[in-house]
Structure 1
Amino acid sequence: MIASAPQMPQSSPFTSSVEAPLASLVTSLHLSNGLKFVRQYEGTVIVPKDPVARFHSLSCLAACALLSALAISCLLVALQDYRRHAIMPPGPSPVPFVGNKWDLPLQKPWYKFKQWTDMYGSLVTVWTGRRPTIVIGDPKVACDLLDRRSVIYSSRPRFVVMGELFTNNDSLLTMPHGDKWRKTRKIFHMGLHRRACESYKPIQEAESQRLTRDLLVTPEIFGKHLERYASSIMICVAYGRRVDDLEDPIVKKIYDRMAYMSTLNVPGAFWAESFPILKLIPDCLAPWKREVKRRAKDSTEMLSRLALDVRDQIKKGDAPASFTKTLWEKREGNPEALSEREIAYATGSLFGAGSDTSSATLMSFFLAMTCFPRVAAEAQEELDRVVGRDRSPTWSDEPNLPYCRAVIKETLRWRPVAVMGGTPHASIKDDQYNGHFIPKGTTILGNLWAIHHNEKYFKDSHDFIPERYLGSGKVGGMEPYPHRDGHSAFGWGRRICPGKQLAENSLFITIARVLWAFNISKATDKHGQEITPNIFAYTDGFNSKPQPFQCRIQPRTPGIQQVIEREARLGEQFLDKYKCS
């Protein structure tokens, strides 16, 4: 015989009942006056007839149902993520919904990425929230995906802070693949194709003559001279004006902008990258957001002012040739083809990226020459044999200076400025590689710290050995590097640096002339002891450069010193037309 459920007493205030799936979870709930308003009777929830009690009862049931639904949804999402983790490349175990946020260091994350590459292999999946990032640590894999499959991997991930809040995605760095990106890429090609770069060589030659004179006069501030030199070249190319003073306010503003942008692009630095909804927080409640927007406003005003100054010069008829002048002239025939903001951001991106990366690369060159003196001696022997000591190297000498060219390549490999491979790529559709699934929208990051120091390709990778690029057999037994340049400092595929040719030209004329002109050695302290710089002491951020260090820079001979002074006067005469009024 089956026992029936207990009957309610007639005096009870409860007169109706409702079956509920969650009734087994309910025990007893009380009002503040102690009146029991819900009781459990073997799976049946009794709802009071009193309106207030009924409301509280149903609200409780609704809350329980909502919490259960939320828990089930979270569980389903977690299971879905678990399945994705299983088929994607391996990596550190993520925390559900948080990912590896707490595993990512705020400073120099490329070291941690290199450790994970050593642990998990050439492809490592790192999670920021539920968004996957695949970190590449092998040059062959990088070329396979980012070069040979560039049609899939040429977009950009969503940059909430640097892209949407700071530049409104008007910068080529953060612009996703599409019509706008193709248009902007064409704009850069107008001023940076090979023939255009040939026209900039006189500027680079004259500025390198000025640089060697500056190093001769005040070698102790060589870092400042390198910044002025790189900035002046890029301002001449971008705006048709030069930087003559180390304290030029434009240089200060541009370098401040670039330093700030580099902090915005470090993985894990902002929670808004993992949880984009955070960008909707009111500015009054988000100091970080207020600061980003304030900086963005200042940046846009500065870039616009520089571009408008060129337009004013064009109207006066005294604007020298420049990238900005070319764009204004293109716009004059078709105002709808280019907006003023597009011109401002295109030329600003050219100057900002070019000046910062060039000066940082030259700083690494000086660091290498200080710590590896054998290399400078080899290069100087070649320069004396090919060029002599009565003049400095010119462009016509380049084909006959293979060791100097190898020094440049090794500098770019040894300490790449864009140490995490530049701005990350993103996949535009699902893909498979070596049995691993790469879903659409995955962020792809080429960690150059791991790629350029992969011992399969570069033996003793932290030693500065230009012979790697000479085929002399001095550094043999390594697998051939898959990219024709022998390094990947300028990026990959359709996102390769558009200013690559301009940068290589500047590096050649500068490095060849510095090696020809000066002996670079370790500085000494007050006791006469040599000071050895730390070759691993580099700044943090998107672009990394050496921390300030000391070295000794001396002219090789009195005759060379006279040549430096004579050629500097010629360079100044050429650069006079680029001075601002």
Structure 2
Amino acid sequence: MAVILNILPVIVTVVLLAKLLTIGRRPKNLPPGPPTIPILGNLHLMPTRDAHLQFEKWAREYGPVYSLILGTKVMIVLSSDKAVKELLDKKSNMYSHRQEMYLGQTLCSGDLRILMMGYTPRWRMCRKMVHTLLNISAAKSYVPYQMLENKQMLFDILNTPERAMYHVRRYTNSLTTTMVFGWRSETYDDPKMMQLFDGFGEFAELNQTGAAGLMDFFPIIRYLPDFLLPARVKAKELHKKEKALYLGHWLKAKQDTLNGTITRCFSEDLVEAQKTEGFDDDQAAYISGTLLEAGSDTTSSTLYAFIQAMVLYPEVQKRAQEIIDRVIGDKRLPTMDDEQDLQYIRQIMKEALRWMPTTIMGAVPHAVTKDDYYDGYLIPANAGVVNNVWAIHMDPARHPEPRKFNPDRYENDFQSLGDAAANPDYTKRDQFTFGAGRRICPGIHVAERSLFLGISRILWAFDIKPYVDAQGNTILPDQEKLTQGFVCQPEEFKCTITPRSEARKQIVINEWQQAQDECIDPVTKQWKVNPLGPARSRKA
């Protein structure tokens, strides 16, 4: 007995060490992937910048479905249209969950952010409400909002073209605040708008750090004190500021709704849903707030990418302007009624989404709820599943010369973005920027109209050319330099934007002046009379 007691600690130590050394190994039945090392798995190989390039490289090396072992967790990476269709779309009941994201969801978001919420009854309730705001019939009703904000964007670009990126951001943000909360953003310099963009930038950056990954992949680290985990302290501070912003927006909209003074918007319906579903103001604030951040950032990023493409591919711009001139002429701006006659503009829109995808790696990974098999490989329960958008878009077999901006790829594609995403033939899907399955971006219909109006009207009104410095040197942007984070866009660049003619310049000025006279209160800068009809009073 004494001998047994003496060797027992040795046995326990050996067993624990053996168990520890299994962490980081790739089980034989998982999809292939890069070589692992004990404990870390593939964590040491994860890039700190431009992860999309490494994920694309691994796809070419290990195939359209490969695996990464990240500490204690498994990540499956889908890098083909076929795999995305067969798993995320066709098996969406299994592939719509999320892995636990301690820093992003628990600390930064108080477990309230829909984007990172697991596939739970609460998520399904939130998603159902969001669908009422953004379904295709609702999207059509918001066109008057889009038309107004678009006219201001054109006017702002005309006056300060060097701030085009900020004018595009104001356009998409103001549209979103109107749809969600019932008020518009008159200027990009509005402190609350700047806080939104800066805050989401901080959120994305923080969640890309090594500390975020370590706390997710090695949960034991969470027991360390705050002074050893500065990322955790920063996450809590960020949540406090973000929650205050979103709660302030929501409570104002809620009170305006109860008073019957709100401009028609999503918050009206959210007030009613709160009564029946019983969720608190914090959850309502994050339902509406995360809609605001999603609608403000992704569409503006695509429009900014489009402007860069016009700088780098002048032949595309010239052809588009010739078509617009033939269809529209020089006496009026394009409208949504012109969409069917401007197929080449739609091709440019789709190519911008493909060439510079904003959700470059599918934003946030899906997770599978139970064991599944694909091509003979195990996809284990609780594994994260990445929609590797960049690799799919840059697959030369799918898109020859993928880094060339070529709208002719979509010459015979007359599908809406939503119809293409739902097409049962995965080879007929146009692009994957909006995600897949039940996690597909619900704003796809609104975004399509905002992008068409933005692209067609910018091309109608302006010439976009490279920047020329004081020494006469032409400065071209680098199309490979992208911002980092969940949502990316080209790094800020200089270009020259000028009105195509004096007559078109005057039309831009007149259209905005008329819109202000007819629609906007001169003091509040908000809608005088809402085009969607009067608010519904809830006081009774």
TM over 0.5, shorter chain: yes
Residues 142-163 of structure 1 show CA distances to partners (whole Å, capped at 9, x for unaligned) of 2221111212111111111101
- Residue number among 26, 36, 44 corresponding to 1:102 in the alignment: 44
1:320 aligns to 2:263 (yes or no): yes
1:535 aligns to 2:479 (yes or no): yes
Between the aligned partners of 2:309 and 2:347, the Cα distance in structure 1 is 13
Residue of structure 1 equivalent to 2:171: 229
Q: 1:318 to 1:240 in 2, by over 3 A?
A: same
Residue of structure 2 equivalent to 1:419: 360
Residue of structure 2 equivalent to 1:31: none
Between the aligned partners of 1:554 and 1:67, the Cα distance in structure 2 is 78
- Residue number among 334, 339, 352 corresponding to 1:398 in the alignment: 339
Residues 164-207 of structure 1 show CA distances to partners (whole Å, capped at 9, x for unaligned) of 11113211111111211110111101211122111211010111
Give SS of 2:114's match.
Answer: coil
TM-score normalised to the size of structure 1? Answer: 0.85
Map 1:75-474 onto structure 2 (within 5 A).
75-76=18-19, 78=21, 82=25, 85-266=27-208, 268=210, 270=212, 271-332=214-275, 334=276, 336-471=277-412
Residues 204-243 of structure 1 show CA distances to partners (whole Å, capped at 9, x for unaligned) of 0111111111111111111111111111111111111111
Q: C-alpha displacement at 1:573, in angstroms?
A: 3.5
Between the aligned partners of 1:571 and 1:66, the Cα distance in structure 2 is 81
1:293 is matched by which residue type in structure 2? K
Q: C-alpha displacement at 1:282, in angstroms?
A: 3.1
Between the aligned partners of 2:104 and 2:38, the Cα distance in structure 1 is 26
2:512 is matched by which residue type in structure 1? A
1:238 is matched by which residue type in structure 2? V
Q: C-alpha displacement at 1:406, in angstroms?
A: 0.4
My pick for the range that moved more, 264-273 or 522-531, is 264-273
Between the aligned partners of 1:230 and 1:541, the Cα distance in structure 2 is 19
Q: Is the 8 A contact 1:413 1:452 kept in 2?
A: yes
Between the aligned partners of 2:23 and 2:466, the Cα distance in structure 1 is 57
Q: C-alpha displacement at 1:139, in angstroms?
A: 1.8
Between the aligned partners of 1:490 and 1:133, the Cα distance in structure 2 is 20
Residues 222-275 of structure 1 show CA distances to partners (whole Å, capped at 9, x for unaligned) of 111111111111111111111112210111111122112212443855210111
Give SS of 2:66's match.
Answer: strand
Q: C-alpha displacement at 1:419, in angstroms?
A: 0.5
Between the aligned partners of 1:343 and 1:574, the Cα distance in structure 2 is 33
Q: Is the 8 A contact 2:30 2:378 kept in 1?
A: yes
Residue of structure 2 equivalent to 1:29: none
Give SS of 1:432's match.
Answer: strand
1:496 aligns to 2:437 (yes or no): no
Structure whose alpha-carbon radius of gyration is higher: 1
Q: Is the 8 A contact 1:206 1:574 kept in 2?
A: no
Q: C-alpha displacement at 1:580, in angstroms?
A: 5.7
Between the aligned partners of 2:242 and 2:2, the Cα distance in structure 1 is 63
Residue of structure 2 equivalent to 1:43: none
Q: C-alpha displacement at 1:412, in angstroms?
A: 0.2
Residues 48-98 of structure 1 show CA distances to partners (whole Å, capped at 9, x for unaligned) of xxxxxxxxxx7xx4xx6335313223324645875x521101111122222
Q: C-alpha displacement at 1:535, in angstroms?
A: 0.5
Give SS of 2:116's match.
Answer: coil
Q: 1:115 to 1:342 in 2, by over 3 A?
A: same
Q: 1:71 to 1:321 in 2, by over 3 A?
A: same
Q: C-alpha displacement at 1:383, in angstroms?
A: 0.8
Q: Give 5+ residue unaligned stretches, structure 2.
A: 414-423, 528-540
Between the aligned partners of 1:157 and 1:143, the Cα distance in structure 2 is 21
1:239 is matched by which residue type in structure 2? F
Q: Is the 8 A contact 2:23 2:39 kept in 1?
A: no
Give SS of 1:355's match.
Answer: helix
Residue of structure 1 equivalent to 2:538: none
Q: Is the 8 A contact 1:153 1:427 kept in 2?
A: yes
Between the aligned partners of 2:211 and 2:311, the Cα distance in structure 1 is 34
Between the aligned partners of 1:295 and 1:468, the Cα distance in structure 2 is 42
Between the aligned partners of 1:401 and 1:79, the Cα distance in structure 2 is 58
Residue of structure 1 equivalent to 2:3: 20
Between the aligned partners of 1:121 and 1:197, the Cα distance in structure 2 is 38
Between the aligned partners of 2:9 and 2:447, the Cα distance in structure 1 is 59
My pick for the range that moved more, 257-266 or 243-252, is 257-266
Q: C-alpha displacement at 1:559, in angstroms?
A: 1.3
Q: C-alpha displacement at 1:555, in angstroms?
A: 1.0
Q: C-alpha displacement at 1:574, in angstroms?
A: 5.0
Q: 1:542 to 1:552 in 2, by over 3 A?
A: same
Residues 429-448 of structure 1 show CA distances to partners (whole Å, capped at 9, x for unaligned) of 10110111111011000121
Residue of structure 2 equivalent to 1:47: none
Q: Give 5+ residue unaligned stretches, structure 1.
A: 1-17, 22-57, 473-479
Superposed CA RMSD in Å reads 2.0
Between the aligned partners of 1:286 and 1:551, the Cα distance in structure 2 is 42
Q: C-alpha displacement at 1:563, in angstroms?
A: 1.1
Between the aligned partners of 2:145 and 2:298, the Cα distance in structure 1 is 18
Q: Is the 8 A contact 1:192 1:498 kept in 2?
A: yes
Between the aligned partners of 1:81 and 1:235, the Cα distance in structure 2 is 45
- Residue number among 551, 569, 575 corresponding to 2:495 in the alignment: 551
Residue of structure 2 equivalent to 1:14: none
The sequence identity of aligned pairs, in percent, is: 33
Residue of structure 2 equivalent to 1:42: none
- Residue number among 503, 506, 512 corresponding to 2:450 in the alignment: 506
Residue of structure 2 equivalent to 1:3: none
Residues 263-297 of structure 1 show CA distances to partners (whole Å, capped at 9, x for unaligned) of 24438552101112322333344222111111111
Aligned residues: 514
Between the aligned partners of 1:150 and 1:403, the Cα distance in structure 2 is 33
Q: Is the 8 A contact 2:481 2:490 kept in 1?
A: yes
1:435 is matched by which residue type in structure 2? G
Between the aligned partners of 1:148 and 1:75, the Cα distance in structure 2 is 39
Q: 1:399 to 1:469 in 2, by over 3 A?
A: same
Q: C-alpha displacement at 1:331, in angstroms?
A: 3.2
Q: Is the 8 A contact 2:114 2:123 kept in 1?
A: yes
Give SS of 1:85's match.
Answer: coil
Q: C-alpha displacement at 1:117, in angstroms?
A: 1.1
1:487 is matched by which residue type in structure 2? Q
Between the aligned partners of 2:65 and 2:246, the Cα distance in structure 1 is 39
Q: 1:290 to 1:265 in 2, by over 3 A?
A: closer
Q: Is the 8 A contact 2:23 2:41 kept in 1?
A: no
1:231 is matched by which residue type in structure 2? N
Q: Is the 8 A contact 2:350 2:410 kept in 1?
A: yes
Between the aligned partners of 2:357 and 2:249, the Cα distance in structure 1 is 29
